A and B are shown apart, each in its own frame.
Chain A
Amino acid sequence: MSDTAARYIEAQSPPPETMRKWNVARFAGWGFCTVWILLVCGLLWSLYNSFDPEILTRYLPKLFEGLVVTTQLVVFAIVFGGLLAIPLALARMSSNSILNGLSFCYVYFFRGTPLLGQMFLIYYGAGAMVEHLEAAGVWWFFREAYNCVLLTFTLNTAAYQAEIYKTAIESIPRGQREAAETLGLKPGITFWKIIFPQAMITALRPLGNEIILMVKGSAVASVVTVFDLMGATKLAFSRTYDFNVYLWAAIIYLSIVETLRRGWVRIETRLTRHLVR
Chain B
Amino acid sequence: MDLISQLAWGATGWGDELAYGTLLTIQLALATLPFGLALGLLIALAQRSNEKSLVSAANIYTTIFRGLPELLTLFIVYYGGQIALQKLINLFTDTYVEVNAFVAGMIALGLVFSAFSSEVFASAFKGIPAGQGEAAQALGMTRWQALRLVTLPQLVRLSIGGLSNLWLILLKETSLVSIIALNDLLRNTNLAVGSTKQPLFFYSVALLIYLALSLISSRGLGAIEAYAKRGEKRVA
Chain A residues within CB distance 8 Å of chain B: 25-26, 28-30, 32-33, 35-36, 108-109, 112-118, 120-121, 124-125, 127-129, 215-220, 222-223, 230, 233-234, 237, 243, 246-247, 249-250, 253-254, 257-258, 261
Are B53 and A219 in contact (CB-based, < 8 A)? no
Are B67 and A253 in contact (CB-based, < 8 A)? yes
Closest chain-A Cβ to B76's Cβ sits at a distance in Å of 6
Are B203 and A125 in contact (CB-based, < 8 A)? yes
| Complex contacts, A29 vs chain B, CB 8 Å | 46, 49, 51-55, 57
B58 at the interface (CB under 8 A from A): yes
19 example contacts (A-B, Cβ-Cβ < 8 A) are as follows A28-B54, A32-B46, A114-B173, A114-B176, A117-B203, A120-B193, A121-B200, A121-B207, A124-B199, A129-B200, A216-B69, A219-B71, A220-B71, A220-B176, A233-B72, A253-B67, A254-B63, A254-B64, A261-B67
Are A230 and B199 in contact (CB-based, < 8 A)? no
Are A253 and B68 in contact (CB-based, < 8 A)? yes
| Complex contacts, A128 vs chain B, CB 8 Å | 197-200
B210 at the interface (CB under 8 A from A): yes
Closest chain-B Cβ to A231's Cβ sits at a distance in Å of 11
A106 and B27 CA atoms in complex are apart in Å by 28
B211 at the interface (CB under 8 A from A): yes
| Complex contacts, A233 vs chain B, CB 8 Å | 72
Report if A243-B83 is in contact (Cβ < 8 Å); known contacts: A25-B50, A32-B46, A112-B214: yes
Report if A258-B57 is in contact (Cβ < 8 Å); known contacts: A246-B79, A250-B72: no
Closest chain-B Cβ to A117's Cβ sits at a distance in Å of 5
A258 and B70 CA atoms in complex are apart in Å by 16
Are A117 and B54 in contact (CB-based, < 8 A)? no
Closest chain-B Cβ to A22's Cβ sits at a distance in Å of 11
Report if A26-B67 is in contact (Cβ < 8 Å); known contacts: A128-B198, A129-B200, A230-B72: no
Q: Which 9 A-B pairs have the closest CB atoms?
A: A29-B54, A29-B53, A124-B199, A32-B57, A219-B69, A114-B175, A121-B203, A257-B67, A114-B172
Query: Total interface residues on B, using CB and 8 Å?
Result: 50
Are B72 and A108 in contact (CB-based, < 8 A)? no
Closest chain-A Cβ to B125's Cβ sits at a distance in Å of 16
A226 and B186 CA atoms in complex are apart in Å by 19
A109 and B204 CA atoms in complex are apart in Å by 11
| Complex contacts, A237 vs chain B, CB 8 Å | 79
Q: Is the interface of B mostly helix, strand, loop or mixed?
A: helix
B35 at the interface (CB under 8 A from A): no
Q: A-B pairs with CB below 8 Å: how many? A: 137
Are B49 and A25 in contact (CB-based, < 8 A)? yes
Are B172 and A115 in contact (CB-based, < 8 A)? yes
Q: What residue in chain A is nearest B58 (Cβ atoms)?
A: A32
Closest chain-A Cβ to B56's Cβ sits at a distance in Å of 7
Known: A120-B190, A246-B75. 7 other contacts (CB 8 A): A30-B53, A113-B172, A114-B172, A124-B199, A128-B199, A215-B69, A222-B71
Contact of A121 among B46, B175, B199 (CB under 8 A): B199
| Complex contacts, B204 vs chain A, CB 8 Å | 121
Closest chain-A Cβ to B221's Cβ sits at a distance in Å of 13
Report if A125-B71 is in contact (Cβ < 8 Å); known contacts: A33-B53, A243-B79: no
Among B53, B175, B186, B204, residue most surrounded by chain A Cβ atoms (within 10 Å): B53
A25 and B189 CA atoms in complex are apart in Å by 48
Are A120 and B186 in contact (CB-based, < 8 A)? yes
Closest chain-B Cβ to A12's Cβ sits at a distance in Å of 28
A115 and B70 CA atoms in complex are apart in Å by 12
| Complex contacts, B57 vs chain A, CB 8 Å | 29, 32-33, 35-36
B179 at the interface (CB under 8 A from A): yes
Are B172 and A246 in contact (CB-based, < 8 A)? no
Among B69, B80, B174, B197, residue most surrounded by chain A Cβ atoms (within 10 Å): B69
Are B72 and A246 in contact (CB-based, < 8 A)? yes
| Complex contacts, B54 vs chain A, CB 8 Å | 25-26, 28-29, 32
B103 at the interface (CB under 8 A from A): no
B60 at the interface (CB under 8 A from A): yes
Q: What residue in chain B is nearest A233 (Cβ atoms)?
A: B72
Are A258 and B63 in contact (CB-based, < 8 A)? yes
B37 at the interface (CB under 8 A from A): no
A219 and B49 CA atoms in complex are apart in Å by 35
Contact of B76 among A121, A216, A234, A250 (CB under 8 A): A250
Q: What residue in chain A is nearest B49 (Cβ atoms)?
A: A25
A117 and B205 CA atoms in complex are apart in Å by 10
B118 at the interface (CB under 8 A from A): no
A32 and B62 CA atoms in complex are apart in Å by 13
Q: What residue in chain A is nearest B25 (Cβ atoms)?
A: A114
Q: What residue in chain A is nearest B211 (Cβ atoms)?
A: A112
| Complex contacts, A247 vs chain B, CB 8 Å | 76
